[in-house]
Structure 1
């Protein structure tokens, strides 16, 4: 049996996803980009930015307007062409740059945006110039995604809408104000516990269980506790570090981890773990490292291996945006307080892992010991790993073929579990195993039929037949009912149309790779109370499957960390207070937010 280095797999995983180098802590925006003004001999107003080393300004985002918000022509010089990871090919300025305004009025509102090279991107920032007094106001805007909590609502240049006044106040702010760091850590630990049963955390359970089965007869309650604790501590540490990397890179955690390369690498890792569970080869640490970390133990479930597995498993949890995660990222980005944000994320990851530690401690007494049962258990976890790989790779598979891999997996498990082993009498676990095998075989067959019918939802493989029988008249809200907006201008125009009809507007931030979004579209948007609640509400969607300059700028203007996020606007083009929904969204919460938005529009 061949041996594959787990350390090598994890390094490949990290190299494919994390930034290539560590970055210095980003400067406050008014230190990274320092503007100065002066009158020229020809009567033009010159605006010159001194740009710190390692930072740059975007030419496309330089803009000016007068006091009545009428655009002012801004003359700019050519910049350096840059292939920017967030905005594509664009022109930028380094070191120093000037722009000029002819016939400048007394009040000029100046907007600009810049980034740390290879690091954080700042939000669009507005400063007011008084040409009579020759003064420049302090920046209006925050450190990153959201406005400062003591600032007035920020209206980014040319957006024509505004977010809620407390959009910059996060769960971190509230907990720190209420009880300091101790309450913050306790609160985020509790948030993690509440999120431990969500779909993104579920794959961790078979991972830990499979890790424990490798211990064989040496597995005890104490050993299970030690292994699971090492796994969870590494997972929580990686969670905090990934949050810092996301804040410094200017990208949100999901966008970093949900590139096709990252998804493919993580899915491939789980395929390898599955093949290892089936006995094709053994995944373990190199002997020298494994002996040191595990005190000479040669078992695949060493403490060091558990920690490395926890490190890589954090990449599964990271892509799921939740309200606490969004709050921590916004806090880091706005204040630059990396330590507090990292501790909050560590506590969040630790809370998600506590049920795993409990499961491992109890499992140390109950999991079967070495023998035929042990091999069967390892094989079952191999199927679980394959299911995780399929689940992860779903965004990479064309919708038409989504049911095919699930059908093959269900049929294979049904055959393995003994659906065709004859009708000999069975007792106890044998009856349960036979029943599981038959159900899996039937379900796999239904999935195969659903694939032939063109279905794409594994939970409703015969859905196309239902639609045909009912004439397709069932009242639901589909993703296609949302008008796509990919820029601030497009959203502003849609809000203008809704305002003319005195309608509130729902902006739904989504992406093809967002697993929670698919759950919302299948189970939440189709709920009767949601369909009724959203009647009379204009529906718009911001798809960030592929991040470009325009939709990235719109995300920042909306103070959005990532999908799924829902924002309601009233007919005045202002965010309806108390209606923003982030992460796991229920039909009850969405219906209530719609009710509040509609009542405010009357």
Structure 2
């Protein structure tokens, strides 16, 4: 920094004149120039007007190129502290720096100001990096891992360049295609294909599914860029209860349409315009694909978080958007395969076609229940699943009288319906008992029956010490000392996924065992403030839910950060690593 911004001081009568010589391509912020005297008292300083720069992090701000000057009104005695901050245009930035100058000799009192300078990428962007420089053993400052600071985008770029990055995100998308967030895409596309009826060929299936996926990827890329620039306000909008209920209502409307209550179609003036063209179905597929990105958008994943960090840190929107587009296409590759090679397996016409549409209707309802389940009190979600399972049993004729001449398919359908009805009853009992896991609906009852067992430790939201700023975290770590590893959990009331974690993951007995002896700290982001946003920047957190695991030296343990859909298994593994049990 002392090479990029060469500072010198001189006298102008009783005043002190400070001058910076800036290297080409570097600039200083005018508003961050300040001088204080003995005891930290602000001194009067005059600076000339700067050049208006549209900064991605600060907005319109005044900066200096080439040279910068400041005049401190005299007389000044003792010493003065000069603070300034600058950046490289489109590249590296430096943290605010203070240099102490002897007012008598106008020489720096020591080299501490310059020797402590450490660079960070794009401090004017949303997420500046913290330094990974070695710290003293007794320091309570957190050092985040190389993986967190470099990010998945930076790591892939370092290994193989842009092409390797795109291929890597494409592969990550394929892996994410089998996660719950992407599941709703399958019935949406399948319902679109069945509407083609007998005219659906392999080529037509490929065209429809590819159009759907490309539109979804384009929207996913666009929403990602908006999220990177708008930050938490966009995340709040996507993860809010209102947005979740809106998307669930869309799936209910799709289900009712599949059941034949009404027909979803374009407005008449648009329908007439595209009626004469075969591209009408392609336009519908594109519209569905674009809107489907709203469903997978709120699901924060590690690759998504990495791409958002990269865009915010570097301002490279093109490369970040390309990575997100590749991620979206990767998520859609199984959809394209299903649409292309599965088209021949779909019924062509008749009563079976209507049955298939109705089955998709149940899948749409199931998706809506899955979305709102996390908003409901414990047990209420299982009651909804119970109603859905019993209704499905009635729908496929579980309780209808079977004719003696019925074939094997009808008997299998009746058996499946009876099993669905039985499962629905069990879910209802589990929901009334307060259970939350559809795969373990009677777990609460089983636990209550074993009354002689020692009550297991249960971790809840109140088990965490709440902090609101970097200063709070530093004070907490200093007060408690480095005796125990630490979990820092970023959560928010508007974060729908956080509710699932706090209701189903944290109370898990294996999680309680894994976190035994771990200091639990939470950061509530329900209201975004300057203090908690600064903490997010320092720890490289995109948004909730995020878990950071620190070892006993307050060093983030490599490969332990959890973002987005968090399970009991992932928490257990990360906590064990932080405790040094998985070295």
Q: TM-score, normalised by structure 1?
A: 0.75
Residue 554 of structure 2 corresponds to residue 573 of structure 1: yes
Provide the C-alpha distance between the structure 2 equivalents of 1:234 and 1:583, rounded to a whole number of angstroms.
24
- Displacement of 1:190 in angstroms is 0.4
Match of 1:127 among 81, 85, 97: 97
Residue 334 of structure 2 corresponds to residue 355 of structure 1: yes
8 Å Cα contact 1:403-1:447 kept in structure 2? yes
Provide the C-alpha distance between the structure 1 equivalents of 2:458 and 2:27, rounded to a whole number of angstroms.
45
Structure 2 match to 1:451: 431
RMSD: 4.2
User: What SS does structure 1 have at the residue aligned with 2:411?
Assistant: helix
8 Å Cα contact 1:152-1:165 kept in structure 2? no
The answer to which structure, 1 or 2, has the higher relative contact order (CA under 8 A, 6+ apart) is 1
Provide the C-alpha distance between the structure 1 equivalents of 2:298 and 2:481, rounded to a whole number of angstroms.
35
Superposed CA offset, 1:374-411 (max 9, x none):
11111111111111112222344344533332222222
Structure 2 match to 1:45: 43
Structure 1 match to 2:481: 499
Provide the C-alpha distance between the structure 1 equivalents of 2:248 and 2:559, rounded to a whole number of angstroms.
38
Provide the C-alpha distance between the structure 2 equivalents of 1:224 and 1:306, rounded to a whole number of angstroms.
11
Change (3 A) 1:403 1:104: farther
Residue 150 of structure 2 corresponds to residue 169 of structure 1: yes
Structure 2 match to 1:463: 443
Change (3 A) 1:569 1:516: same
User: What SS does structure 2 have at the residue aligned with 1:419?
Assistant: coil
Residue 395 of structure 2 corresponds to residue 416 of structure 1: yes
Change (3 A) 1:56 1:216: closer
Structure 1 match to 2:314: 335
User: What SS does structure 2 have at the residue aligned with 1:579?
Assistant: coil
Worse-superposed segment, 285-294 or 425-434 = 285-294
- Displacement of 1:130 in angstroms is 4.0
- Displacement of 1:37 in angstroms is 3.4
Which consecutive unaligned segments of at least 5 residues does structure 2 have?
A: 1-24, 64-69, 87-92
Structure 1 match to 2:220: 239
Provide the C-alpha distance between the structure 1 equivalents of 2:82 and 2:251, rounded to a whole number of angstroms.
56
Provide the C-alpha distance between the structure 2 equivalents of 1:284 and 1:247, rounded to a whole number of angstroms.
34
Match of 2:348 among 369, 388, 400: 369
> Which has the higher Rg, Structure 1 or Structure 2?
2
Provide the C-alpha distance between the structure 2 equivalents of 1:478 and 1:103, rounded to a whole number of angstroms.
58
Structure 2 match to 1:36: 33
8 Å Cα contact 1:568-1:594 kept in structure 2? yes
Change (3 A) 1:93 1:227: closer
Match of 2:298 among 298, 314, 319: 319
- Displacement of 1:537 in angstroms is 1.5
Change (3 A) 1:482 1:38: closer
Provide the C-alpha distance between the structure 2 equivalents of 1:298 and 1:147, rounded to a whole number of angstroms.
46
Provide the C-alpha distance between the structure 1 equivalents of 2:408 and 2:80, rounded to a whole number of angstroms.
87
Worse-superposed segment, 563-572 or 357-366 = 563-572
Residue 435 of structure 2 corresponds to residue 437 of structure 1: no
Worse-superposed segment, 441-450 or 393-402 = 393-402
Q: TM-score, normalised by structure 2?
A: 0.77
Structure 2 match to 1:215: 196
- Displacement of 1:505 in angstroms is 0.7
Change (3 A) 1:39 1:125: closer
Provide the aligned length of Structure 1 versus Structure 2: 524
- Displacement of 1:414 in angstroms is 1.6
